[in-house]
Amino acid sequence: MSHDGDGPLVDVEHLNVSYGAGRDRTQVIHDATFQVAAGESVGLIGETGSGKSTLARAVVGLVKASDGRVRIAGEDVTGFGLSQWRDFRRRGVIQYVFQDPLRALDPDLTIEQSLSEPLQVQRRLSRQQIRDRIVFRLEQVRLDAALLSRFPGELSGGQRQRVLVARALATEPRVLILDEPVSALDAANRVAVLEILNTLRANGTSLVFISHDLGSVAGVTDRVIVLYRGELVETAATTDIVNRPEHPYTRLLVGSAPTLSSGAIDRERRAELRRLLETS
Amino acid sequence: MTDTLTAVRTAPPDIASPAEGADSPADVVLRVEDVRIRNPHTGVEVVHGVSFELRRGHVVGIVGESGSGKTLTCRAVLGILPRLFEVSGGRIELLGRDVSTLTPREWTHLRGTSITAVFQDPGSYLNPSVRVGAQIAEVLRVKRRLRRREAKARALELLADVRLRDPQLVYRQYPHELSGGMLQRVLIAAAISLEPQVLIADEVTTALDVTVQAEILDLLLDLKMQHGLSLIVVSHDLAVIAQSCDEVLVLRDGHVVEHGPTDGILFDPSHEYTRLLIDEHNNYGLDRFRTDDAAPADSALEARGSRHVA
């Protein structure tokens, strides 16, 4: 592969994304530049409508960027057409886990069929090798192989989310992008999924977490990128974002997040930050 | 009977009446004693004995997953259990009155004027084709028999009370023109329009951004202080409860697995589920990163050095 192992795994430069055309054209991502290093875990945090999902989708070619450059594992994917993207995705270097665990699985396919598909299109492994691989992946997400013959509707929300992670892992990706991976789950499943992702992180898979709630994923990230109204306003190590946020929006976000200890800032300060954001 | 219920109200809504020293039994506005809820057709019990007392001006929190019985408990307290469920045991006392003795007509009178609720999805509680102001004014015209002009003036006051920035504009808007946070404020305005004493806030911030959530929680606590409201705050998020409640119940599969002052439960949880919730915050949430000196970190508001990405 063209990636030499030294440069960033994901390298985004001056990316702009717009929706609509002519007078209805709205720019939703403004000049985004960021990198994700090999083995790094990054949180892409922003409120509803900040453009975080759009940015992640632009990186994997699901949304067309109007400007800028994206390189994944050293390969410039910026000008890729549909067939180039298809071939690139089949290699499975980068995988995307979508937000809604029920709709992201075909209800008419068994779990085994859903998990086998990304490997079958690669045409590299035999049927038995594929089966061994997906059983291994299921074990990795702590699901029983007995689930293979079931349909998505027969699984709980937590099981479905883990199946999606297992499917994303089937092609041994170097980068996994996860859109709100735990927001729809109950506490026991949230912790189980976060533990699984932490194990992947320890094994060197790069992770990108998209979330509106820094508090739900902070503990599995090394670094946080804060997105506000389509702009990347701040990036720093997670501990610095939490303890020494700089941009007014980051300060408002961290200061609003409920915690068990009383770390939230008082409302007067939040109101001041809000005024500061509105005037800037 | 209903006269005594309305007479219990102590302060008009505009006068601040902080609920200090509210400790005599008469100040218990809601008493829930060993309440059980079951499906009478299958005989399956889903809530297995919930007990708590809500005092005037206090906040009781209920934490649990979806399916733990927290919303059913609230609906039993409101007298609006879904058709398939009934209170099969225990006792609910609202303002000193056993609610099982209430006729449907009395319930209709009490709801809104004594006890009220706001739920997770504010959009679905408003008529999409009617301007929001008219929907609040309608409640006042029907329940308070206010004239059109009085009802409008009062609705505008209420929209200002919930700190919507431009009440005149919001009054004329349709639900789809408002953000989730603004809709939730409108619903809270409607809920307090008849000056109730108990407000149930069931997952009211779940669908909102974190920064908006903080504002809605502030608003609820302000209403508590200014109007002497007593609150039941329901959430799946222990941190939301920790920041807003004096006392907390942890519900798990219809059982109260923990009940006590919030600080005590956070410091010394006795049930494994509560420990799981606390560990989640400590291992994966902001609590993991917060250093002791970090709380006042945001003391300076001047522009700081920039960590701009580009």
pLDDT of B159 higher than 90: yes
DSSP string, B285-298: SGGGT--GGGGGGG
Q: Which tokens belong to B23?
A: 């400790």
A-B CB pairs within 8 A amount to: 156
| Closest partner CB to A243 (pick from B180, B278, B291) | B291
- Report how far apart, in Å, the C-alpha atoms of B281 and of each of A122, A193, A217, A220, B38 are: 40, 14, 10, 12, 33
Closest C-alpha to A228, from A49, A27, A31, A40: A49
B163-203 residue pLDDT tens:
999 999 999 999 999 999 999 999 999 999 999 999 999 99
Of the candidates B127, B90, B97, B103, the residue with the CA atom closest to the CA atom of residue B115: B97
Q: Which residue of A has its CA nearest to B294?
A: A243
* Nearest CA among B24, B35, B59, B50 for reference residue B262: B59
Average pLDDT of the residues in B29-50: 95
Architecture per CATH, B49-287: 3-Layer(aba) Sandwich (3.40)
Shortest distance, CA A192 to any CA of chain B (angstroms): 10
Q: In angstroms, what CA-CA distances link B248 with A71, B215, B261?
A: 50, 21, 6
Give chain A's domains with CATH numbers.
1-93+174-188+198-237 (3.40.50.300), 105-172 (no CATH), 245-280 (no CATH)
- Tokens 């218990």 locate to B28
| A19: β partners | A26
Domain definitions of chain B by residue range = 49-287
pLDDT tens-digit profile of B209-249? 999 999 999 999 999 999 889 999 999 999 999 999 999 99
B239 touches chain A (CB under 8 A): yes
Q: Put residue B179 in one of left, alpha, beta given phi > 0 → left and psi -120 to 50 → alpha.
A: beta
Residue B293 CB contacts under 8 Å (≥ 6 apart), including other chains: none
Q: What is the DSSP letter of B123?
A: G
Q: Do B289 and A239 touch (CB under 8 A)?
A: yes
**A265–B298: do the CB atoms touch at under 8 Å?**
yes
Sequential DSSP letters for B42-81: T--EEEEEEEEEEETT-EEEEE--TTSSHHHHHHHHHT--
Looking at the complex, report in whole angstroms how far the Cα of residue A121 sits from the nearest Cα belonging to chain B. 36
Determine whether B170 is exposed, middle or buried from the number of CB atoms within 10 Å of its CB (0-12, 13-18, 19+): buried
Report yes or no: A251 at the B interface, CB cutoff 8 Å. Answer: yes
Closest CA to B35 of B82, B11, B1, B70: B70
SS (HEC) of A78-92: CCCCHHHHHHHHHHC
Q: What is the pLDDT of residues A86-144, one digit of tens each?
A: 999 888 899 999 887 778 899 999 999 999 998 998 888 999 999 999 999 999 899 99
Backbone φ and ψ of A224, nearest 5°: -125, 135
- The amino acid present at B8, given as its one-letter code, is V
Band the pLDDT of B309: cuts 50, 70, 90.
Answer: low
Please give the mean pLDDT across all residues of chain B. Answer: 87
d(CA A34, CA A230): 13
Q: What is the ipTM of this complex?
A: 0.86
**Cα distances (Å, whole numbers) of residue B38 to A197, B72, B251:** 39, 10, 16
Q: Which A-chain residues 201-230 have CB contacts (< 8 A) with chain B?
A: 212-220, 225
Q: CB under 8 Å to A99, separation ≥6 — which residues? A: A53, A179, A180, A183, A184
CB of B98 within 8 Å of any CB in chain A?
no
For A168-190, how does the pLDDT look when each residue is reduced to its tens digit (9 = 90+)?
Answer: 998 889 999 999 999 888 888 89
The burial of A190, by beta-carbon neighbours within 10 Å (0-12 exposed, 13-18 middle, 19 or more buried), is given as buried
